[in-house]
A and B are shown apart, each in its own frame.
Chain A
């Protein structure tokens, strides 16, 4: 009697926990890492990360110079995105390396090693979704209490009372950067009684002076200024976003007013609605810190003949909860406090006062890769230790057996 073929759930379980899938995923990750590294010089880190590693990037079409082209567009095979592959690998390792694997003391090292890889993937997931990063630039002698995003733009709206800005409302970045140049989106600010309609979003732009009379029909001109679309720079930090904003009061007591906002503007543009002054500014997202950093001393050196720092370090005072504490931050020696990690990422000395730029990262899974590595070391040490022990034991037995048989022969 022939064996009945396994049921669909069993076949699915075998497929998702199998070696074949594990090897395929690891190969795909290798290829994706290789291709994205090759693409990075031309497209820039931000763009490549978005295309290859974002949760939304289900598939990626590699675009490399040496690929065959049709009508100037590279022809390439679509590959699954790294996030998707990592998710499948997680399922595979969990089912195959922890659930399906033969249990027993002989395999304990392998199970521990698989667990370390699963935890490494979880750390990647948490970091991808919940980590935040910004830069705090401080000149020697100054104190700062905020970090600013490298790349993410927002529009802040604040009422200005007696010349002073009040706590601003922050438009969510994701709803701005997802806008195409021909799209509009309305942001409702019920507490201010305003609606903002954002249109003409440009990822990179320049603010240009235009003559009111000379401006064409399609040019949005406000107070003699307009935006000019620019090609996206591969280094995302250098892109200056721009957009048009129509501000309308909810009560419709006044007509809407249009503003041209540009990411390079050093201050807000204002509109007055119902006698109240509101400042609007397109800027990289600001992230207030629960502590202050005073830069006491900033030391560094450039590589000869360049403006590229070869070494830098900073003596800082961290001010939090009414107490002050001194630290020295050096390359690879960050300061950790309250879930934040401060690395020195930049240094500049233009003659007046040196400036230190601290990359501030808040990542709940910051230390998890290190712990995963320790677990992996433990698992592999147990596994290979047992193998070595077994081998040494077998060799000794075999030697003793040979010695006995030699004696018997003699």
Chain B
């Protein structure tokens, strides 16, 4: 018993508490590694960005939202996303609903069903996709939400608000 007590104590050693009141001033490094300012809903949580995800969020158990840059034209990107769900390719993006993002009119893409997998994510049944693609200059800015079909449908309103609030950081702003 003594041995067990010793082992338990050693395995969860607790150091004394520290009270933190020290703050520092903001510096240019606080602008982050990209030029976007995003207002995320409190229901989401930000996780570390990656090479292809400038901003990376999670919601619920397995939902994810990420902001990225892309090239290759609006329609090919829309059709690539639809293709991941086995949906037929579109001839034109004109019929898709629009969302204002970064001062441009972006298109809203929705799909649900069986996700075929891709970009490191495994295949998933009854999955959902909601995303916005906007052409900014010579590149595309994409905001993609993926997760369970019902979860994605429930979060779509927040996604649209998120896209509308997205803005480019001005020089010297922090």
Residue positions of A touching B, CB distance < 8 A? 143-146, 148, 156-157, 160, 162-172, 175, 178-180, 182-191, 207, 223, 225, 262, 265-272, 275-277, 279, 286, 288
Of the residues B12, B21, B29, B39, contact of A182 by C-beta under 8 Å? B12
- Let me know if A270 and B26 touch, CB within 8 A: no
Taking the nearest CB of chain A, how far is it from the CB of B90, in angstroms?
32
B32 in the interface, Cβ–Cβ < 8 Å?
yes
Q: Which residues 7-34 of B sit at the A interface, judged by CB distance below 8 A? A: 10-30, 32-33
Stretch in B43-51, B96-104, B106-114, B146-154 touching the partner: B43-51
Of the residues B10, B46, B58, contact of A267 by C-beta under 8 Å? B46
B37 in the interface, Cβ–Cβ < 8 Å?
yes
A-B contact count (CB 8 A): 121
Taking the nearest CB of chain B, how far is it from the CB of A185, in angstroms?
4
Q: In whole angstroms, what is the CA distance A297 to B88 when docked?
A: 53
Q: In whole angstroms, what is the CA distance A209 to B40 when docked?
A: 24
- Let me know if B18 and A187 touch, CB within 8 A: yes
B42 in the interface, Cβ–Cβ < 8 Å?
yes
Q: In whole angstroms, what is the CA distance A123 to B11 when docked?
A: 42
With contacts A167-B25, A262-B48, A265-B48 taken as known, whether A162 is within 8 angstroms of B39 at the C-beta atoms is: yes
Q: In whole angstroms, what is the CA distance A20 to B26 when docked?
A: 54
Residue positions of B touching A, CB distance < 8 A? 10-30, 32-33, 37-40, 42-43, 45-49, 55, 58, 165, 174
Closest to A197 in B: B14
Q: In whole angstroms, what is the CA distance A148 to B17 when docked?
A: 26
- Let me know if A184 and B15 touch, CB within 8 A: yes
Taking the nearest CB of chain B, how far is it from the CB of A183, in angstroms?
5
Residues of the B chain whose Cβ atoms lie less than 8 Å from the Cβ of A184: 12-15
Known: A185-B15, A267-B46. 13 other contacts (CB 8 A): A144-B27, A145-B27, A148-B29, A157-B20, A169-B20, A172-B18, A183-B14, A191-B21, A223-B47, A269-B45, A272-B43, A275-B42, A276-B42
- Let me know if A277 and B20 touch, CB within 8 A: no
- Let me know if A207 and B18 touch, CB within 8 A: no
With contacts A145-B28, A146-B27, A223-B58 taken as known, whether A279 is within 8 angstroms of B33 at the C-beta atoms is: no
Q: Is the interface of B mostly helix, strand, loop or mixed?
A: loop
With contacts A183-B13, A187-B18, A275-B42 taken as known, whether A267 is within 8 angstroms of B23 at the C-beta atoms is: no
- Let me know if B18 and A286 touch, CB within 8 A: no
Of the residues B10, B24, B165, contact of A163 by C-beta under 8 Å? B165
Sorted nearest first, the 3 A-B pairs with minimum C-beta distance are A146-B27, A163-B39, A265-B48
- Let me know if B22 and A172 touch, CB within 8 A: yes
- Let me know if B17 and A170 touch, CB within 8 A: no
- Let me know if A288 and B25 touch, CB within 8 A: yes
Of the residues A163, A170, A171, A185, contact of B16 by C-beta under 8 Å? A185
Q: In whole angstroms, what is the CA distance A42 to B148 when docked?
A: 51
Taking the nearest CB of chain A, how far is it from the CB of B42, in angstroms?
4
- Let me know if A270 and B46 touch, CB within 8 A: yes
Residues of the A chain whose Cβ atoms lie less than 8 Å from the Cβ of B18: 171-172, 175, 185-188
Residues of the B chain whose Cβ atoms lie less than 8 Å from the Cβ of A269: 45-48
